[in-house]
Structure 1
Amino acid sequence: MAEYAMYKGDDLLIIGTLTELAEFQKVKRETILFYATPTYQKRTTDKGLRVIRVD
């Protein structure tokens, strides 16, 4: 199962599965996937949430 890391600016918030990140943020899994897209990154500043897949 794939793991993801969630950052807010330079701070690491959590590492886990999509479900774990969604529960942490209290949002749907699809929202977490959207946070990982280039479109979301263009719409937010560098201090916003970032989700990166950890292989």
Structure 2
Amino acid sequence: MTEYALYKADELLIIGTVEELAEFQKVKRETILFYATPTYQKRTTDKGLRVIRVD
């Protein structure tokens, strides 16, 4: 199972699966996956949400 880390600015909010992060943020699974894309990172500042895959 792949785990992801959800950050807001430099603060770690949660580590878990895509489903766990989606439940934590109260958004759809697809939204969490979008947060991990380069497109989302270009559209937001460094103070926004970031999702990073944890190996």
TM-score (norm 1): 0.99
1:42 pairs with 2:35: no
- CA distance in 2 between partners of 1:45 and 1:18 (Å): 22
CA RMSD of aligned residues (A): 0.2
How many residue pairs are counted as aligned between the two chains?
A: 55
Q: Which structure 1 segments of 5+ residues have no match? A: none
Alignment of 1:7-22 (within 5 A): 7-22=7-22
Q: What's 1:4 paired with?
A: 4
- CA distance in 2 between partners of 1:46 and 1:27 (Å): 21
Sequence identity percentage: 89
> Runs of at least 4 residues of structure 1 off by over 4 A?
none
Q: Which structure 2 segments of 5+ residues have no match? A: none
Aligned-partner SS, 1:45: coil
TM-score (norm 2): 0.99
